[in-house]
Each structure stands twice: as C-alpha cells, then as structure tokens.
Amino acid sequence: MLRIPIAALTALLLTTAAIGQPWAQPDSSLTLMLMGDVLGHGSQLRCAQQPDGSYSYRRTFAPMEDVFALADIVIANLEVPLAGPPYAGYPSFSSPDALAQHLQQAGVDVLVTANNHALDQGSRGLYRTSRVLDSLGIPHTGTAHSAQARASNSPLMLRHNGIALALLSYTTCMNGPTRHLPPHAVNMADTARIRADHRKALALGADAVLMFVHWGEEYHRTENASQRRLADWLHTLGITLVVGCHPHVVQPLQLSTEEQRATVFSLGNFVSNQRWRYSDGGLVVMLRLERQSGAVRLTHGAAIPVWVSAPMRGGVKDFRVWPVYKAEATGERFGSEHPDFVRFASDTRRLLDSAGHGFPELRYDAFTRSWALPWQSAQRIAPRSAELLPLLRPKVQPPLQ
C-alpha cells in the first residue's frame, strides 16, 4: 500500500485548493504544443551552412528543447518547401532537408504545410517536401504528393493515451497559381472540403479536431472580419481548436472551457529573419485535453512567448529561438539586441493581458529549473516519455555541434 506522508498530503491539498483545480485526476490526458511560422530567409541559410557544406539548425533550436519536452505532441507550421538545392530565401523559399530533421531532433513531432509558400518552387518542390517528410518519419498534413497520400493525412489522426486528435491544415492564400494543380496537392480553404474532412475525422473516431489555418493580413496585430467569420463557422461545424498563422505577428487568442473551444488568430513567427517590431518572435501555445469518465474535454491553455536573437557571429547572423520567461529568469543577456528582447516581451504580454483570454503565460522557476504548468502546479515537470502514437518516433537528442 502506498503511504503518503501527512505533511506532503496536506501541502498537496492546499496547493490544489489554492489553484482551483478539481481533486479528481483525469483518466488520461493529451498535452499539445503549437508553434507558428518556421521560415528560411537567406541569412538563416548562411547561419546553418557548415564548413563542409552541410546544414545544421541544432544550435538555433537548442534553447527550446526543454520547452518541447513539456508536451506530448508538438506541431509547427513549416512555411518553406524542401525543394532541394539550390537553396533560396525570400521570396521563393527552398530550405535544406536538415531544417525539418533538426526540428524533429529538437522535439517537434508533426508539421503542417498548407500555406502561401507551399508552391514557391512549383509542384516539384511541393511534392518533394511531402516525400522528404515521409522519409524522415515526420507526420504532416496540408499538402500531399499523391491522392493516396492525401487520403492518409487529411485528416491526420494522432493518438496518445487513448485520446484521438484529428489534425487538419488549410490555407486561404497561395503565392502561385493553383488552377492546374490536382485536388490532392494543397488544402485550399474550401468549405465543402473542410466539411468532408471533418466528417471523415469523426468517422475515424476523433475525440477532438484541431485545424491550422493560414489566413489574415500580414503584420496586422488584430484579426479581420473574414478570420472571425471563418473561425465561427469552423466552431459551429464542430472543429474545437482553431489555430492561425500567416500574419507574422501575434494576434488575439481565446479559450473557453464552458464552450469547449479555443481560437488563436495568429501565433506569429517561430523563427525568421524578420527583425522588426512585433515580427521578431511569436507564441508557443499549449492546450490540454483530458478524459474524465469517458468524455474528452478541453481543460487548460497556456502561452509561451518566444523571441529570436540574431547577433553577428563569425560574419553571419547567429539565429537562436528563446523562451522569453526562461531567458529572463536565468539572466540571459542579448548585447545590443537586448532592448529589442525587452520590447518584444512587453508588447506580447500587453496583448496577452488584453486579448489572451484563457492563455496565461507559462512561468519558469530558475531555482528548481522547471516550468510550472497550470495542470501540474507546484510539481517538478519530468520530461515526457517516448511512448507516443505509432506515427511519432521516440525523441533523439544528439549533442550540439
């Protein structure tokens, strides 16, 4: 019989009461982590290129590894095709395969690919991206190299701890013409197709449906009427979780456990060379699903502001993605860029305070070296296990080079 010391039990009861959490523990749970735009500008390519001509993004993503370890499934928007050499930055991106590989090694599990840059290198680049992700064992949805591939990944079914999540990815905009593309190539945001994919998700046993949607106006810090109309329609359809990308800045977000829905109008940039105000970072959002007595419910949300530093190092910009609160708590300094870091933190917190309903900022304790999750308050967070859905491979954390 397990015996809990009286002092420890009393502390647990007081902590639980103080944060207003129910005593009953969930039968199972699924913690999601959602990231914004992964871009590949020319200066990022120069940063990643190694002396032997290969490419490495391990240093770029290293500060985020303990953040990714907090979630069961981590999903990011890959906003560049993996079209092979010659590599290129804006406006027609083509990034090395190592970008996806090192995202995966840092802890990203799944990529969504329906966005306005999917056709930057034509259909050849789009189809190669799909095949490369398949070869790396990275589940993905939003674009596909064949009708059979689309049938298997739209929706993409993710399962963990007995909870089934259907993931969809759609875009409302495209930089290149799409009229000659076959229907399987890119998920354009057509309501009939979304409705069909949603029906399929329910038929496959989805407990919840998450949709990434590429929409809105670039660099606008508030959503427009079109975004609001589409979000309302998606929620009415039954898509519980709606997450937006494309504006390259953070936009309002809201979670309602009463209505069982979450809307994030824009996560902003995860990594890019957009160095100006509001675009030099973004949000990583966490969503918690719990099964209680057979029913799966959305119970918690949290937000982690992330900022991109890019000081000159060896004649090139040295890109690194930093969780803001941890950088502050551990006394990280960014030289001449530090005022930009402080400004981004302040701007993002003002938005969270005024328009981040249901998404408190996640806090890092430098003394215990742990993140305080709302659903595990006052507990030290252990790294997640490698037990994930069959689609996801166990994490491999190679040494930094």
User: Residue 336: inside a domain, yes or no?
Assistant: yes
| CA pair distance 266, 33, nearest whole angstrom | 14
What CATH number is associated with residue 256?
Answer: 3.60.21.10
User: Residue 74: inside a domain, yes or no?
Assistant: yes
- What's the pLDDT score for residue 24? 59
- What's the pLDDT score for residue 395? 41
10-residue mean pLDDT profile of the chain (401 residues): values are: 41 38 72 98 98 97 98 98 97 97 98 96 96 98 96 97 97 88 94 98 98 98 98 97 98 97 98 98 98 93 98 96 98 97 98 97 95 72 42 39 34
User: Residue 14: inside a domain, yes or no?
Assistant: no
User: Residue 276: inside a domain, yes or no?
Assistant: yes
| CA pair distance 58, 398, nearest whole angstrom | 9
pTM: 0.89
Query: Mind listing the pLDDT tens digit for each residue in 116-141?
Result: 999 999 999 999 999 999 999 999 99
What DSSP string describes 163-178? EEEEEEEEES--SS--
Nearest to 359, CA basis, from 282, 291, 262: 262
Query: What three-state secondary structure class fits 210?
Result: strand
- What's the pLDDT score for residue 293? 87
Number of compact structural domains in the chain: 1
* Peptide bond before residue 252 is cis, with ω within 30 degrees of 0: no
Domain that residue 317 falls in: 32-376
Nearest to 255, CA basis, from 32, 22, 37: 32
User: Residue 24: inside a domain, yes or no?
Assistant: no
List the structure tokens of 106. 């840092």
State the alpha helices, DSSP H only, in 164-223.
191-203
What percent of the chain shows pLDDT beyond 70?
Answer: 88
User: Residue 349: inside a domain, yes or no?
Assistant: yes
CB 195 within 8 A of CB 62: no
User: Residue 116: inside a domain, yes or no?
Assistant: yes
User: Residue 270: inside a domain, yes or no?
Assistant: yes
CB 17 within 8 A of CB 148: no
| CA pair distance 275, 150, nearest whole angstrom | 36
Question: Which residue has tokens 């990714």?
Answer: 68
What percent of the chain shows pLDDT beyond 90?
Answer: 84
